Chain A
Amino acid sequence: MRKFLGKSVAVGAIAMLALTACGSGRDEGSSGSGSGDAKGFPANSLIGVALPAKTSENWVLAGDLFTNGLKEAGFQADVQYAGASTTVADQQAQITAMVTKGAKVIVIGATDAAQLSTQVAAAHQAGAKVIAYDRLILNTPDVDYYVAFDNFKVGQLQGQALLDGMKAKKPNGPYNIELFSGSPDDNNSKVFFEGAMSVLKPEIDKGNVVVASGQTDIKQTAIQGWKAEGAQARMDQLLTSTYGNKELDGVLSPNDTLARAIITSVKGAGKPIPVVSGQDSEVESVKSIMAGEQYMTINKDTRNLVKQTIEMVKALQAGNTPQVNDTKSYNNGAKVVDTYLLPPVAVTKANAAEAYANDPKLAPLTK
């Protein structure tokens, strides 16, 4: 037995040594990812874009815009969507593949914002820059920039539009309103709600606006999973419990899907449609606004967001620091990420034609 062991050790060792000798040295890792700013990179470099699964029109549009926009700017674009079933694992693998292919900048619309730290760390070690697109990547120091719409501003615009709309219908208060907020597992839900409350709270305190059901806590107003049927059910219950003989003047809704569900519920109860806010400029809601049902929505033009992101990539390519306008607000748990916030636009029937003039899908609806 020992003889065999001896022989095998010898053969193994010789083989190893023989082949070790002709191997090459190793790459010493990142060539200083932190100091990469000053240098830039070749203009035809590969830019990776990792987006979530194709579950909403917005992401598909963003992917097309990135593919075309990056090509126009002279880059090679690698735009990937996560698969429908194994989203997080897919996105992790796609980002790793982009790093392997030598992408200089990786733009990530995260599927799960907290499950990418290993991959972005690998990207940084390979010298790539990481831009978080629309969703901030959490708990990692390896995010360089964040680009998104100003979601607090979205909430403020919704709150303000609600007040304006109610005033236009009925010059004097007090107004009865109800509050809805988004899914509790979505980080943005809270931001929208707080933005809206920053406008509504002073009016509520003055007594000019009354939340008749008394449900003002975000836990009470939240709709799990942003589901339309959830909003419809809650509105049904509110109408039964509170508005038997009261008039409902306005409803704060965080997005268009919920807004339409709320309107459906009110119609079903045979009540006049109140002023309802929204967000996302969904086709059905734009139609609803033009028909005078939903009062407002928010236009967060994906074109502008993608354009801004590509501007950042161009700046990095030239070796400049990309333009940011917020270096304080967005702490991802490991660091404060330099952010470029785009302003959202409030759209009502009055300014719809102007707001969607450049949108080939929505513009015809406003005519």
Chain B
Amino acid sequence: MSRLKDLQKNLFGGTTSNARQFGMIFTLVAIVVLFQILTDGLTLRSDNLIALFQQNSYILILAIGMLMVIVAGHIDLSVGSVAAFTGILVAKSMADWNLPWPVAILFGLAIGAVIGAWQGFWVAYIGVPAFIVTLAGMLLFRGGNQFIGNANTIPVPEGFRVIGSGFLPETGPNTGYNNLTLLLGLAGCIAVVWRELHARRVRREMNAEPIPMWISILRMAVMVGVLVFVTLRFASGRVGTSFPVSGIILVALVLAYSFYTRNTAGGRHIYAVGGNSRAAELSGVKLKRVNFYVMMNMSILAALAGMIFVARSAASGPQDGNGWELDAIAAVFIGGAAVSGGIGTISGSIVGGLVMAVLNNGLQLMGVGADRVQIIKGLVLLLAVALDVYNKRQGRFSVIGSITRTFRRDTPTAPPSSSGAEREPAKTPVAG
């Protein structure tokens, strides 16, 4: 096995690999570097990175839920309207009923849950296609937003705005950086290193072929290097700024949902349902329940996204949520999900969302107008998905398939225990 293949196989994705997703990571890096040069270093400046996360956290949060919906073989067109409906209700609840803002956030999540249960009921138990249910929801809740808000813009109190535009406080000694951001970065580095060492230990205990030490070290070095760079960028912004609160919410959700979709039975059931719902049902997956919860979860995340946007905008307005569903769906597909369901990862969707976000931000920094930005984004979406479809048509069962096949040719020499672990169903490639 050549060292290069070792690297390919092990550096980014643990045991399984997802070429499309790697492709997107490289695309993301390339776009960042490109814009970094084109904008004379504005792209990676602290304030711009902070703004980038604040501007896009709500779309990325939607992409998490949308990924699960799309993997399960559905679609949700109502997220923008649900977000707007929740936003106006939460803003009203604070303005008219004087709800304290933490209670208002819980209230908002509860609204999301109720709406989600409503949509999930129609999809899972009545069997109306999700496209129709959420198209109806899109109209229903957009109308609800206008009915309740009367097309007015309703401001929200200072405390509530923290979830959208807030920062970590400045505490501790003056290090020239935001100390809490440094601590977060440190925790991230520790987690990366611990996970790597843990994985090595597990492989040793299972008598699997160990990953070469130099690869482990290289992988850790790259990840820690990126983390440290990003941490220092976020920590060295203007005094009073740090890694944004909305970014922290996003990271927490990404970690939690990644773990859920990758490592738990419930999460794998979603992939099973999307891959082949009949087979999944016959294997004992509770189809209706999975569909119900996937739809419900989406609406709860939409409610959260709506509240974060309202908090960032300092007010809930009649334009909120317009077109968000499309941004979220685009992020998921650029991130490697399959239109037919069953394929896709949370981290891929986030990378897909970030590609769109950096593209948007970089073009804006260059002063390209919104009209041309939309044209470019549309082309990127089309090309990203077309590339994968084209590769499938060439008989190469997609980029993903072709890459995993070259790996399989290598693996027969490996002990059966390890190749068994590697040979996941073809439709469920997951980055480790």
Q: Which residues of A are interface residues toward B (Cβ below 8 A)?
A: 4-5, 7-9, 11-13, 15-16, 19-20, 23-29, 53-54, 78, 80-90, 92-94, 96-97, 99-101, 111-118, 122, 125-126, 138-140, 183-185, 333
Q: In the bound complex, do residue A11 and residue B314 qualify as a contact, i.e. CB atoms below 8 Å apart?
A: no
Q: In the bound complex, do residue B309 and residue A89 qualify as a contact, i.e. CB atoms below 8 Å apart?
A: yes
A84 → chain B, closest Cβ, in Å?
8
13 A–B pairs (Cβ distance < 8 Å), ordered by A: A15-B225, A25-B236, A26-B238, A86-B323, A92-B313, A93-B360, A99-B47, A100-B48, A115-B314, A115-B319, A118-B164, A126-B238, A138-B155
Q: In the bound complex, do residue A139 and residue B370 qualify as a contact, i.e. CB atoms below 8 Å apart?
A: no
- Nearest 7 CB-CB pairs, A to B? A12-B189, A8-B193, A185-B151, A83-B370, A115-B313, A114-B153, A8-B194
Residues in B whose Cβ lies below 8 Å from that of A93: 51, 55, 360-361, 364
How far is B146's CA from A185's CA once the two chains are assembled, in angstroms? Answer: 11
Residues A92 and B197 in contact in the complex (CB < 8 Å), given A16-B228, A23-B236, A85-B323: no
Residues in A whose Cβ lies below 8 Å from that of B182: 16, 20
A116 → chain B, closest Cβ, in Å?
7
Residues A92 and B323 in contact in the complex (CB < 8 Å), given A25-B176, A82-B370: no
Q: In the bound complex, do residue A20 and residue B175 qualify as a contact, i.e. CB atoms below 8 Å apart?
A: yes
B37 on interface, CB distance cutoff 8 Å: no
Other-chain residue from A20, A84, A139 in contact with B177 (beta carbon distance below 8 A): A20
| Given A88-B313, A94-B370, A112-B319, 4 additional A-B pairs, CB 8 A | A92-B313, A97-B361, A99-B47, A125-B240
Which residue of B is nearest A24, CB measured?
A: B236
Residues in B whose Cβ lies below 8 Å from that of A12: 186, 189-190, 192-193, 224
How far is B229's CA from A132's CA once the two chains are assembled, in angstroms? Answer: 38
B367 on interface, CB distance cutoff 8 Å: yes
B374 on interface, CB distance cutoff 8 Å: yes
Q: In the bound complex, do residue A81 and residue B323 qualify as a contact, i.e. CB atoms below 8 Å apart?
A: no
Residues in B whose Cβ lies below 8 Å from that of A184: 150-151
B267 on interface, CB distance cutoff 8 Å: no
Which residue of A is nearest B175, CB measured?
A: A20
Residues in A whose Cβ lies below 8 Å from that of B364: 80, 93-94, 97
Other-chain residue from B232, B314, B323 in contact with A19 (beta carbon distance below 8 A): B232
A17 → chain B, closest Cβ, in Å?
9
Residues in B whose Cβ lies below 8 Å from that of A117: 313-315
Q: In the bound complex, do residue A78 and residue B367 qualify as a contact, i.e. CB atoms below 8 Å apart?
A: yes
Which residue of B is nearest A3, CB measured?
A: B197
Other-chain residue from A4, A15, A25, A97 in contact with B198 (beta carbon distance below 8 A): A4
Q: In the bound complex, do residue B323 and residue A27 qualify as a contact, i.e. CB atoms below 8 Å apart?
A: no
Within 8 A of A (CB), among B277-302: none
Residues in A whose Cβ lies below 8 Å from that of B189: 11-13, 15-16
Q: In the bound complex, do residue A139 and residue B155 qualify as a contact, i.e. CB atoms below 8 Å apart?
A: yes
Other-chain residue from A7, A53, A81, A114 in contact with B155 (beta carbon distance below 8 A): A114
How far is B324's CA from A140's CA once the two chains are assembled, in angstroms? Answer: 26
B425 on interface, CB distance cutoff 8 Å: no
Residues in A whose Cβ lies below 8 Å from that of B201: 4
B251 on interface, CB distance cutoff 8 Å: no
How far is B317's CA from A207's CA once the two chains are assembled, in angstroms? Answer: 42
Most buried by B among A53, A97, A183: A97
Residues in A whose Cβ lies below 8 Å from that of B340: none
Residues in B whose Cβ lies below 8 Å from that of A125: 238, 240
| Chain B: number of interface residues, binned into ranges | 35 or more
B365 on interface, CB distance cutoff 8 Å: yes
Residues in B whose Cβ lies below 8 Å from that of A15: 189, 224-225, 228
Which residue of A is nearest B150, CB measured?
A: A185
How far is B240's CA from A78's CA once the two chains are assembled, in angstroms? Answer: 28
How far is B323's CA from A115's CA once the two chains are assembled, in angstroms? Answer: 17
Most buried by B among A94, A96, A122, A138: A96
Most buried by B among A9, A16, A117, A125: A16
Residues in B whose Cβ lies below 8 Å from that of A25: 176, 236
Residues in B whose Cβ lies below 8 Å from that of A115: 153, 313-315, 317, 319
A34 → chain B, closest Cβ, in Å?
16
Residues in A whose Cβ lies below 8 Å from that of B185: 16
Residues A86 and B322 in contact in the complex (CB < 8 Å), given A7-B193, A19-B228, A101-B365: yes
Q: In the bound complex, do residue A4 and residue B176 qualify as a contact, i.e. CB atoms below 8 Å apart?
A: no
How far is B186's CA from A24's CA once the two chains are assembled, in angstroms? Answer: 18
Other-chain residue from B55, B154, B322, B369 in contact with A81 (beta carbon distance below 8 A): B369
B318 on interface, CB distance cutoff 8 Å: yes
Most buried by B among A5, A8, A9, A12: A12
Residues in A whose Cβ lies below 8 Å from that of B161: 118
B220 on interface, CB distance cutoff 8 Å: yes
How far is B312's CA from A92's CA once the two chains are assembled, in angstroms? Answer: 10
Q: In the bound complex, do residue A81 and residue B186 qualify as a contact, i.e. CB atoms below 8 Å apart?
A: no
A102 → chain B, closest Cβ, in Å?
9
B152 on interface, CB distance cutoff 8 Å: yes
Which residue of A is nearest B309, CB measured?
A: A89
How far is B191's CA from A29's CA once the two chains are assembled, in angstroms? Answer: 32
How far is B183's CA from A8's CA once the two chains are assembled, in angstroms? Answer: 15
How far is B309's CA from A87's CA once the two chains are assembled, in angstroms? Answer: 13
How far is B153's CA from A138's CA once the two chains are assembled, in angstroms? Answer: 10
How far is B310's CA from A114's CA once the two chains are assembled, in angstroms? Answer: 11
How far is B313's CA from A139's CA once the two chains are assembled, in angstroms? Answer: 11
Q: In the bound complex, do residue B314 and residue A114 qualify as a contact, i.e. CB atoms below 8 Å apart?
A: yes
Which residue of A is nearest B362, CB measured?
A: A97
Residues in A whose Cβ lies below 8 Å from that of B48: 97, 100
Which residue of A is nearest B231, CB measured?
A: A16
B30 on interface, CB distance cutoff 8 Å: no
Other-chain residue from A89, A96, A118 in contact with B314 (beta carbon distance below 8 A): A118
Most buried by A among B51, B192, B361: B51
Q: In the bound complex, do residue B237 and residue A114 qualify as a contact, i.e. CB atoms below 8 Å apart?
A: no
How far is B197's CA from A4's CA once the two chains are assembled, in angstroms? Answer: 7
B396 on interface, CB distance cutoff 8 Å: no
Which residue of B is nearest A225, CB measured?
A: B151
Residues in A whose Cβ lies below 8 Å from that of B224: 11-12, 15
